[in-house]
Structure 1
């Protein structure tokens, strides 16, 4: 008969945020992994109206609080690492706060900030952590920055993130997804971003198709060669037909493929006795490059896109209250891919 497994009856480890704390948070769901945080109800109440209600408005958790016998409050649904970090921030344990934070950890922290209504206290730290991740649109986890910047109330970062997500498909959750954190967002926000993605793709398709238009109006053998090479280069680069290719690529990849194509330039009439003047009055001078025309058209499409205004998203208003927004709409963040 096998010997019974020994039981570990040692008490959970305790991290002290305040040596005179009167509340003992119990973290974790499993007995083997549970831990405690000794915290101050006064400090937490100053930082959060939710904690104020918990400790002062008749909740059982707030009865008879005393540093001599801290009250145990189980928080099994909260991420232990994120709650520990939140308590360090609220108790000014600055030396123990990391200067960098992974996106997943930042996401868990943002969820707690939303739950306990204490984003104001965490915002300065988030402004230190976020810049590392903002340039990485399209990377795994970048979509989480959408609800992170929303929950932490960061209008500049939210504008930059929504601009990047508008340009790159595949980074948004599905409309019916129940991903943790995304339930913080307004129901129509991801649909709005998908509509913006479709609009940008349509604009890029139009730019690729119309950049060649001036050359099609000219009866010149040299230009026919340029046009033929243009379509052949687009096909070789995986950009033709654009209606099929553009929707599968990131904007940065589209621009890289455009940069790789090789096309000729206009003779400007120097080898065709002036027939480079189109019947409609189009005048393409010597040295004009169809690729440069395409690059400019693509840049114009991307420069016309702006990040979303966090204040407008949160209030549901648009132009009606634009003058009250923290970021003026006339200077809403623009960023090329």
Structure 2
């Protein structure tokens, strides 16, 4: 990025304001960003009020002598990225962001009421995070999608947190020290995640226990359980069906329980199924049954906002109506 005024990063070449974001000794330290007050005013009603002449920050603005505006409490990188998008300087923007970075941008957008500016880019960034099952701090995404006014992404994020978790949801990390979404929303997600994990455990238990009818069936089940253990699938310690299924590929399919049984009328002959295929089918049912949460229902029922038409339809199980 080019420089101006010694150490100001240029977002607008004829800018009349230098935003001084951050604090010395904190994170990245102070970053100076040369911007246009007109562009920021169009992007944010907060900046529009700041620069309309009623306050000192908006008086005698001129590209010849840009006025410095301190923003010590704001994350410098978030302010820079918001300014770049507002000024249409997007050529160097990354197509992927860490969840923590996106969360900070969402908080800045909420502060300056400029979510409209970054919404299109946020959809790209959230889409990339949704594809990354190992994304760190993904718990921050419900708050981010709420602040950025993205109901479909909120649905997908809440769905992903339940059915593709890398760990049990951390409510402390998810709230990020803020109260924009009530604690009960995250507790609801956590309870759904725990229930989902129990269903996975039950699916495994139903496959590997209670079917020991004879020596042949015991041998078939023992072989399958050994394959699960060898691939770290038994006892069940995974949270994601997708991860479990990827590991199941390495587990050999056992023959039906009755395959080598020579006992006439043995109960094993009533279970004419392949163990691995049955387990995968059950896991698919559990996975497909998980829905996302409707952001508009959350806002109406929990935040007390005025009733509006839900932007994610509830028909055909496309979204869970928040209880």
Interval of TM-score (by shorter of Structure 1 and Structure 2): 0.7 to 0.9
1:29 equivalenced with 2:29 (yes/no): no
Displacement of 1:305 after TM fit? 0.7
Displacement of 1:160 after TM fit? 2.2
Q: Which residue of 2 aligns with 1:6?
A: none
Normalising by structure 2, what TM-score?
0.77
Is the CA contact (8 Å cut-off) linking 2:14 and 2:36 kept in structure 1? yes
Q: Which residue of 2 aligns with 1:173?
A: 170
| Cα displacement string for residues 124-182 of structure 1 (whole angstroms, at most 9, x for unaligned residues) | 122333333321123324334343333322233332222222132526434378746x6
How far apart are the structure 1 equivalents of 2:299 and 2:68?
36
Normalising by structure 1, what TM-score?
0.75
**CA 1:18–1:232 in structure 2 vs 1: closer, same or farther (change >3 Å)?**
closer
How far apart are the structure 2 equivalents of 1:212 and 1:65?
74
Unpaired runs of 5+ in structure 2?
A: none
How far apart are the structure 2 equivalents of 1:147 and 1:159?
12
Unpaired runs of 5+ in structure 1?
A: 1-9
Q: Which residue of 2 aligns with 1:3?
A: none
Task: Provide the alpha-carbon RMSD of the alignment.
Answer: 3.7
How far apart are the structure 2 equivalents of 1:144 and 1:291?
35
Is the CA contact (8 Å cut-off) linking 1:309 and 1:332 kept in structure 2? no
1:86 equivalenced with 2:82 (yes/no): yes
Q: Which residue of 2 aligns with 1:324?
A: 309
How far apart are the structure 2 equivalents of 1:302 and 1:257?
16
Q: Residue 172 of structure 2 aligns to a residue in which SS? A: coil
How far apart are the structure 1 equivalents of 2:172 and 2:105?
23
Displacement of 1:195 after TM fit? 0.8
Aligned counterparts, 1:132-147, within 5 A = 132-147=128-143
Is the CA contact (8 Å cut-off) linking 1:268 and 1:274 kept in structure 2? no
| Alignment partner of 1:284 out of 256, 271, 281 | 271
Q: Which residue of 2 aligns with 1:161?
A: 157
Q: Residue 273 of structure 1 aligns to a residue in which SS? A: coil
Is the CA contact (8 Å cut-off) linking 1:107 and 1:148 kept in structure 2? yes
Aligned residues, how many? 309
Is the CA contact (8 Å cut-off) linking 2:8 and 2:31 kept in structure 1? yes
Q: Which residue of 2 aligns with 1:222?
A: 216
Q: Which residue of 1 aligns with 2:67?
A: 71
| Cα displacement string for residues 212-258 of structure 1 (whole angstroms, at most 9, x for unaligned residues) | 57845xx55433433444455445554445xxx33x65444433444
**CA 1:55–1:315 in structure 2 vs 1: closer, same or farther (change >3 Å)?**
farther
